Amino acid sequence: MLLAWVSTGVILLIAVAVIAVVAVGMNGSMADRAPELADVMASTARHLNGDAEPPKVLVELFEEIPELRPSARSAESAPMFGTESAAGTDRR
């Protein structure tokens, strides 16, 4: 029962955050009442849309994380995936 209340609370918080981004950040009706909040929400909306550059701290964080598994596209791991059999399958 507690899990249901917590999950409902989390869903409501996400809904309120989305409403705030739309109402304030996207030049909604409350943008003139709270211009500082409008700027923050507009920046958040640009980041969520992929229009803004990622924060420098976030980029540095991902650069520090080592890749633990080889990429499927790397030349070293390509023979393990058997690309010959996949070439003949054409689904349209």
pLDDT per residue over 34-81, tens digit each?
Answer: 778 778 877 877 887 888 888 888 888 888 777 666 665 555 555 555
Residue 92 resides in a domain: no
pLDDT at residue 25 in the model:
59
pLDDT class of 19 with cuts at 50, 70, 90: confident
The domain in which residue 37 lies consists of 16-65
Collapse the DSSP code of 27 into the 3-class scheme (helix H, G, I; strand E, B; otherwise coil) and give the result.
coil
Residue 22 lies in a domain: yes
Contact partners, residue 77, CB within 8 Å, separation at least 6: 70, 71
Indicate whether 59 belongs to any domain: yes
Using an 8 Å Cβ cutoff, are 41 and 24 in contact? yes
Q: Is the residue at 60 inside a domain?
A: yes
Look at residue 34 and tell me if it is in a domain: yes
Question: Given pLDDT bands bounded at 50, 70 and 90, which one contains residue 12?
Answer: very high
Instruction: Residue count of the chain, please give it.
Output: 92
Measured CA angle at 41 (ends 40, 45), to 5 deg: 120
Rounded distance between C-alpha atoms, residue 41 and residue 29, angstroms: 13
Is the pTM for the entire model greater than 0.75?
no
Number of domains in the chain: 1
- 45 vs 15, more confident: 15
Q: Is residue 61 part of a domain?
A: yes
